Amino acid sequence: MASLITEGRAGAPGPHAGIAGAGLLGRLLAWWLAGRGWRVTVFDPAAGPQARGAAGWTAAGMLSPYAELECADTRVAALGVRSLQLWQDIVARLPGEVDFRRSGSLLVAHAADLGAARRLIDLLQAKAIDEACPQPLAPAALRALEPAIHGPAHAWLLEQEGQIHTVQAMQALAEGATQRGVSWCWGRSVRSVLPGRLVCDDGEHRYDWVFDVRGVGARPELPVRGVRGEIFWLHAPGVPLGRPVRLLHPRWRVYLVPRPGDLVVVGASEIESEDRSPVSLRSTLALLSAAHSVVPELAEARIVHSEANLRPALPDNLPGLQSSAGLTRINGLFRHGWLIAPALVEQAVAGIEQPQHQELLS
Ligand SMILES: Cc1cc2nc3c(=O)[nH]c(=O)nc-3n(C[C@H](O)[C@H](O)[C@H](O)COP(=O)(O)OP(=O)(O)OC[C@H]3O[C@@H](n4cnc5c(N)ncnc54)[C@H](O)[C@@H]3O)c2cc1C
């Protein structure tokens, strides 16, 4: 397949970018810009590349442009479709192992919840892009596809969807960016982001272009808030699951995402709170009971990890990309960061490298 990402510039050293934030967007931008010949310096208050403050680490990594239409618009879905193509290309170029799959995803519902499920299926069909509608699966077809699923009576397949191992990808993006010459300033908070300038505690740093990708840390420049999400990692040897599964439930949004090493990630709560404390008893009961109702064999799984983090969201819960001379801000990736980040980065960089900005960058 032809590559989707163009790299390298001939001639003089490229422009210098300063990036505030080394989460999902910061790492991807750094890797992307360095591949296009930019010099890149990244600032983040985290202690180092493995410190897990960013929401990017916590995410389950569902790449669901169609299912996410429940709480997003068709622009997000289109960014997701483009990003699925880009991830394939990106993962192939990153160092180390990054589990990325496009085996589709399943929507399932218990018999009693068919009414609530139908409402969502109708909504997805009405908003469908690329004619990608959920395909109903007969019980025998579901059994053949996912023998571990027993509880739900109804199932639909979204063939085009995918998943990415977020922990592996966060590590590989940092490593790949480092290999491309990116400089990291760990333990350094950026107080303010102005055109061509990052203001830190030790003073001002000047760049040809700066990027504000601080997620929840971008206040007060942006009206961003954090939306708490909690997840669990279950170790479930002998429980085969080939693709992400979402339970369509009248009260909860619950999904199960398989990962290598017999792991299943179960998520996620969505709570209007910036509380980062450990997962609550209520969320534990709700998420794990729901997961068990879909895959009863999970009863003997071991809970090996749980985690809470904040999704950065703008007031309309939609992503925002603002660019003016010398400054680009990207934020509000909310529930869809992994789904849409590559396409947003592609758009942002293409906008900056257009002819009207060349003078500023030379
Ligand atoms: C439980 C949960 C499940 C999720 N599941 C999915 C999923 O399945 N699919 C999906 O697509 N998305 C998912 N997401 C959403 C996704 O993780 C986010 O949308 C994405 O991480 C946002 O990326 P970001 O780079 O904007 O923010 P982050 O990844 O949070 O990174 C922000 C970075 O900015 C840094 N920072 C903060 N303040 C400053 C400062 N003053 N100076 C410098 N740096 C600063 C932080 O330390 C951090 O490293 C999930 C999120 C959560 C919490």
Q: Mind giving me the DSSP string for 120-150? A: HHHHHHHH-STT-PPEEE-HHHHHHH-TT--
What residue's CA is closest to ligand 1, atom 49? 23
pLDDT of 1 reads 47
> At residue 59, does pLDDT exceed 80?
yes
Do 192 and 301 sit in the same domain of this protein? no
In the beta sheet, which residues pair with residue 190?
200
| Cα 215 to averaged position of ligand 1 atoms, centre (Å) | 6
Residue 203 lies in a domain: yes
- Domain identity same for 196 and 303: no
Q: What is the mean pLDDT of residues 290-302?
A: 96
282-288 contacts at long range (C-beta below 8 A, 24 or more positions apart):
283/230, 284/232, 286/251, 286/252, 286/254, 287/230, 287/231, 287/232, 287/252, 287/254, 288/232
Atom of ligand 1 nearest to the CA of 227: 53
More confident residue, 157 or 124: 157
Per-residue pLDDT, averaged over 275-290, amounts to 97
Which atom in ligand 1 lies closest to the alpha carbon of residue 334? Answer: 19
User: Taking Cα atoms as reference points, which of 253, 284, 242, 316 lies closest to residue 68?
Assistant: 253
Q: Which of 9-18, 109-118, 249-258 has the lowest mean pLDDT?
A: 9-18
How far is Cα 104 from Cα 241, in angstroms, rounded to an integer? Answer: 12
Indicate whether 173 belongs to any domain: yes
Question: In angstroms, what is the span from residue 167 Cα to ligand 1's centroid?
Answer: 12
The CATH number of residue 170's host domain is 3.50.50.60
| 230 lies in some domain | yes
Does residue 131 carry a pLDDT above 80? no
For residue 208, the Cα-to-chain-centroid distance in whole angstroms is 28
Q: How confident is the model at residue 360 (pLDDT cuts 50, 70, 90)?
A: low
Ligand 1 atom, smallest distance to 311 CA: 53
- CATH (domain of 281): 3.30.9.10
* 141 shares its domain with 232: yes
My answer on whether 259 and 302 are in the same domain is yes
Name the maximum alpha-carbon separation found in the chain: 65
Partners of residue 105 on adjacent β-strands: 158
What percent of the chain is modeled with pLDDT above 90? Answer: 85
Q: Are residues 175 and 303 both part of a single domain?
A: no
Counted domains in the chain? 2
- If pLDDT is split at 50, 70 and 90, which confidence band does 355 have? low
- Neighbouring residues of 162: CB distance < 8 A, sequence distance ≥ 6: 63, 84, 87, 100, 101, 102, 103, 104, 105
By DSSP bridging, strand 209-212 and strand 327-331 are parallel
Q: How far is the CA of 317 from the centre of ligand 1 (A)?
A: 14
86: pLDDT confidence band, cut at 50, 70 and 90? very high
- Does the pLDDT value for residue 34 go beyond 60? yes
In a domain, 93, yes or no: no
Query: Is the model's pLDDT at 70 over the cut of 80?
Result: yes
Task: Match 């199960």 to its residue by tokens.
Answer: 256
Average pLDDT in the chain: 94
| Residue 5 is assigned to a structural domain of this protein | no
| CA 330–ligand 1 middle distance (angstroms) | 11
Q: Is there a single domain that holds both residue 187 and residue 238?
A: no
Give the model's confidence band at 7: pLDDT under 50 very low, under 70 low, under 90 confident, else very high.
low
Model-level pTM greater than 0.85? yes
What is the extent of the structural domain holding 278?
A: 105-159+225-312
Q: Assess if residue 97 is contained within a domain.
A: no
Kindly state whether residues 23 and 143 are assigned to the same domain. no
> Considering just the CA atoms, what is the radius of gyration of the chain in Å?
21
Q: Are residues 355 and 233 in the same domain?
A: no
Give the C-alpha separation, 358 to 351, whole Å.
Answer: 11
Which pLDDT does position 189 carry in this prediction? 98
The CA 182 to ligand 1 mean position distance, Å, reads 20
Q: Are 134 and 237 part of one and the same domain?
A: yes
Please tell me the distance between residue 151's alpha carbon and the centre of ligand 1 in angstroms: 33
Residue 95 forms part of a structural domain: no
- 3 state SS of 44: strand
Q: Are residues 307 and 265 in the same domain?
A: yes
Q: How far apart are CA 283 and CA 286, in angstroms?
A: 5
Structural domain contains residue 242: yes
User: What angle is formed at CA 219 by the lines to CA 214 and CA 225, rounded to 5 degrees?
Assistant: 85
Residue 124 contacts residue 70 (beta carbons within 8 Å): yes
Q: Look at residue 8 in the predicted model and tell me its pLDDT.
A: 60
| In a shared domain, residues 35 and 139 | no
CB 326 within 8 A of CB 14: no
Atom number, ligand 1, closest to the C-alpha of residue 56 = 21
pLDDT of residue 291: 96
Ligand 1 pocket list (CB less than 6 A): 20-26, 43-46, 53-56, 58-62, 189-190, 213-215, 217, 229, 231, 267-268, 309, 311-312, 331, 333-339
In a shared domain, residues 235 and 293 = yes
Residue 346 C-alpha to ligand 1 middle, in angstroms? 18
